[in-house]
Amino acid sequence: MKTGMLLAALTALFMVLGYSLGGSGGAILALLVAAGMNLFTYWNADKIVLKMHNAVEVDASSHPQFYNMLRNLAQRAQLPMPKVYIVDQAQPNAFATGRDPEHAAVAATTGLLKMLSHDEIEGVMAHELGHVKNRDTLIMTMVATIAGAVSMLANFGLFFRDRNAGIAGIMAVLIAPFAAMIVQMAISRTREFGADAAAAQISGKPLSLASALSKISGVAARTPNPVAERNPAASQLYIVPGGVRQMFSTHPATEDRIAALQAMAQGGGSDGWSARPDEIGDMGRLRKPSALDPTR
C-alpha cells in the first residue's frame, strides 16, 4: 500500500509539473505521457536494462555452477527459472529485471563473482530473486522512468517555460526533481528491506547475505560503474549503490540492512542448509563471449 501511494504521488507530481508548464492541457498531456511510458516500460524494461549493461546470457553448459545455483534458489522460492546473465564489470554488484516472475532475468557482475564465496553469492542472488518474487522489478523500473521524466520535463521547463506563468510555475520546475528523488528513494529503500527478508527465507542463510553486503558495499563505492555514471537512475537496480552519499542513496544504510539480517538469524532465519563441497568452485571467471553465447 505504501509503495502504491508513493507511486501515485510520483505520477501526480508529474501532472502538477505538466500543469505548471501548460495548464490543464499540460496536466492531461503529462498523464498520457506517464501512462505511455509505463506501458512501454512494462514490455521492454528487461531488454533496456540488459542491453544497457551489455549483459551476456549464460546457461547450464557455459557456466554450470552459477546457473545451477540460481535454479536451486528459484525452486526454493517457488519461482519459474529466470534468465541468467553476467555483466563484465569490476564493480561487485547484481540486479534483477523483468515485468513479472515469468519474464524475469537476474544478473551478477564478474567483480561480484570473483570477490565472494559460494554462500555469499547465493545470498546475493537470493536477494535478487526476492525482488522478483515481490514484483519489485516492474515497480522500480516504472519509478525510475517517471522520476527521470520529471527531471527531464523540469529541465525543459527552465528553458522554454512561459514567462507569464508566475512564481508558482517557477517553484514547480525547481522543486519537482528534488521531490521526485525523495519519492524514488522512499520506494526503493522499502523494496530493499523486503528483498533482504525474502533472501533470508529463500536461501536460509541471512548471515551469508550480511557478509556479502559487508564485503561489497565499500568496494562498490570505490569502483567506477560506467552504466550508473551515464544513467544515475540505474543505481536503484543494484543490490548496493556505488559512489553515492547516503543522504541521496536509493538504498538503506548497509549497516541497517546487516543488523536486520543478523536479527533474522538470531530469530531462526537459517534452515541449516549449506552447499556441498562439490558445488563450490571458481565462479569468478568470465569465459570468452563465444563460450557464453546462449545459442551455442
Write down how long the chain is.
Answer: 296
Pairing of strands 94-97, 105-109: antiparallel
Beta bridge partner(s), residue 107: 85, 95
Catalytic residue (choose from 57, 102, 120, 128):
128
At CA 233, angle to CA 132 and CA 236, rounded to 5?
40
Residues 69 and 122: beta-carbon distance below 8 Å? yes
Residues 83 and 59: beta-carbon distance below 8 Å? no
Does 255 qualify as catalytic in the annotation? no
- Cβ contacts of 171 within 8 Å, gap of 6 or more: none
Cα separations in angstroms, 177 against 28, 143, 152, 227? 19, 13, 9, 21
CB atoms within 10 A of CB 103: 17
Radius of gyration of the chain (CA): 20
- Report the C-alpha gap between 234 and 76 in whole angstroms: 28
- Cβ contacts of 255 within 8 Å, gap of 6 or more: none
Residues identified as active-site: 128
